[in-house]
Amino acid sequence: MDPFLSDHGGDPTRAALPPAEFYRSPAVHARVIERAFARAWHWAGEEALPPPGHARPFVLAPGVLDEPLFFSSAPDGSRVACLSNACTHRGALLVRASCKNASLRCAYHGRRFAHDGKLVAAPHFEGARDFPAPADDLAAARWSALGPLLFASTHPACDFESWLGSLRTRSAGLPLERAELDRARSRDYEFDAHWALYVDNYLEGLHVPYVHPGLNQAIEFDTYRTELEPWGALQIARASDPRDALEFPNERDIGGLYYWLFPNTMLNLYAWGLSLNVVLPLGVARTRVLFRSYVWDRARLERGAGAGLEQVEQEDEDVVTSVQKGLRSRLYQRGRYAPAHELGVHHFHRLLARCLNERAS
C-alpha cells in the first residue's frame, strides 16, 4: 500500500496527506534514507575548496549518510576532484586532516594514491592477480557550487543544474560570490520531530499569520505564492516595505525567495544575503537543522522578511514538535491539503512517494 497518496494523489484538491504512520515508522524512515537521501545532493560543509596541491576531508550528510569524502586540488589548481576517503584496501580513512596531496598515503598499510585518486603504490601486494584494477583507484563523487556553497553527491538521481531548477538563473543578479559566512548568525538546532514535518512546515505559507507575527508584518500575505520545479519548490511574497525588498528585472518589491531543493535543502534569499537550512534526520523522531547565514550587505540586516530568523526558527520548531506529539494520537488518521497553500507540501510528498516506489538501484 502506498504510504503517501490516496487514490487521487496527483490532484491536490482531492488527495489526502500522508498517514501518521509515515512519521512514526522506522522501516519507512530507513527506506527514505537509502532511496532519497543517498541519491540526493547535499551541502558539503562551510569550508572552502583546498588550495592547489592540497586535500581537505569532510563528511557528507553527517549523522545521516556519514559518507567520508575529500576534496583534492591538482598541483596547478586546474581541477578539483571529490573522492572517497575510504582506502580501497580495507576502508581505513585516508585523509584525516587538511594536507598536501602530492602523495596520499594510508596510515594503515601504506597504500599510496595520487591527487586524482589513482593508485600509486600498494606495498606487499606482490602475487595478487589482476592487480591493480580500476576498482583499486579511489571512487569519485560528483560536486558543484552555487556562490560560496559547495554540494556533493555519491549517486545523484539528477544532475546538479536540474536539481537547482531556476535558482541559478533567478539569483544571477545577486552578489552571491561576495557572500561571506557569518558565524555569529549561524548555529545548529536539534528537536524531537520527524524531519519531514520540518520540510512540510517550510513548504507552506498558510501558517505564517498564525505562527510568525513578525514575518507576517514584513510581507504581504495575500501575494504569497508557490512555484513548483522538478526537484524543488519556490515560495515568493512581496515585501510590505519596498526599502527591504529584493529587486529583479521582471519582479519588484520581493520580500524573499524561499527555495526548497529535494529532499532537505533550503536556500532563502534576502536583500542582505542568504540563509541556508540543511535538515538532517538523526532518527525517526529526532532532527538536526544546520542553519548558516551568508551576508553581502550588512547594512540591510535585521530588516524585512530576513529579520529575526532565530525567532522564526524557534516558532517553527515549536510547531513541528507539537505536530509530532499529535501524530501519536490513536484517533488521528490523515488530513487533507489546502489546495491554494500546500502545493509545495503535496509536491514534496509525491517526490518522496516516487523514491519509495522505485526499485532500489
Residue 323 cell numbers, joined: 505536530
Whether 350 and 318 share a structural domain:
yes
Q: Which of 256, 234, 236 is nearest to 245 (CA)?
A: 256
pLDDT at res. 5:
53
Sheet of strand 119-121, all strands in order from the earlier edge strand to the far edge: 104-105, 112-113, 119-121
Note the pLDDT of residue 285: 97
| Pair (206, 335) in one structural domain | yes
Does the structure show a pLDDT above 80 at 8?
Answer: no
Question: For residue 279, what are the domain limits?
Answer: 177-357
Task: Say yes or no: 197 and 286 in one domain.
Answer: yes
Phi, psi of 133 (to 5 degrees): -120, 165
**What is the average pLDDT value for the chain, to the nearest integer?**
94
pTM here is 0.95
Indicate the pLDDT class of residue 361, thresholds 50, 70 and 90.
very low
Q: Does residue 227 surpass a pLDDT of 50?
A: yes
**In a shared domain, residues 184 and 132:** no
Indicate if the pLDDT at residue 17 is higher than 90: yes
- pLDDT tens for 128-184 read 999 999 999 999 999 999 999 999 999 999 999 999 999 999 999 899 999 999 999
Reduce the secondary structure of the chain to three states and give it as a string. CCCCCCCCCCCCCCCECCCHHHHCCHHHHHHHHHHCHHHCCEECCCCCCCCCCEEEEEEECCCCCCEEEEEEECCCCCCEEEEECECCCCCCECCCCCEECCCEECCCCCCEECCCCCEEECCCCCCCCCCCCHHHCCCEEEEEEECCEEEEECCCCCCHHHHHCCHHHHCCCCCHHHCEEEEEEEEEEEECCCHHHHHHHHCCCCCHHHHCHHHHHHECHHHCEEEEECCEEEEEEEECCHHHCEEECCEEEEEEEEEEECCCEEEEECCCEEEEEEEEEEECCEEEEEEEEEECCHHHCCCHHHCCHHHHHHHHHHHHHHHHHHCCCCCCCCCECCCCCCHHHHHHHHHHHHHHHCCCC
The string of pLDDT tens digits covering residues 168-218 is 999 998 999 999 999 999 999 999 999 999 999 999 999 999 999 999 898
Residue 230 lies in a domain: yes
Query: Per-residue confidence at 248, pLDDT binned at 50, 70, 90?
Result: confident
pLDDT of 35: 96
- CA dist 73 and 71 (Å) reads 7
The stretch 311-331 carries a mean pLDDT of 95
Q: Considering the domain boundaries, does residue 23 fall inside one?
A: no
Beta bridge partners of 180: 295
Residue 232: inside a domain, yes or no?
Answer: yes
Same domain for 215 and 149: no
Number of folded domains that form the chain: 2
Q: Residue 121 sits in a domain of what CATH number?
A: 2.102.10.10
Q: Looking at the structure, tell me whether residues 250 and 133 fall in a common domain.
A: no
Whether 221 shows a pLDDT value over 50: the answer reads: yes
CATH number, domain with residue 282: 3.90.380.10
Residue 282 shares a structural domain with residue 133: no
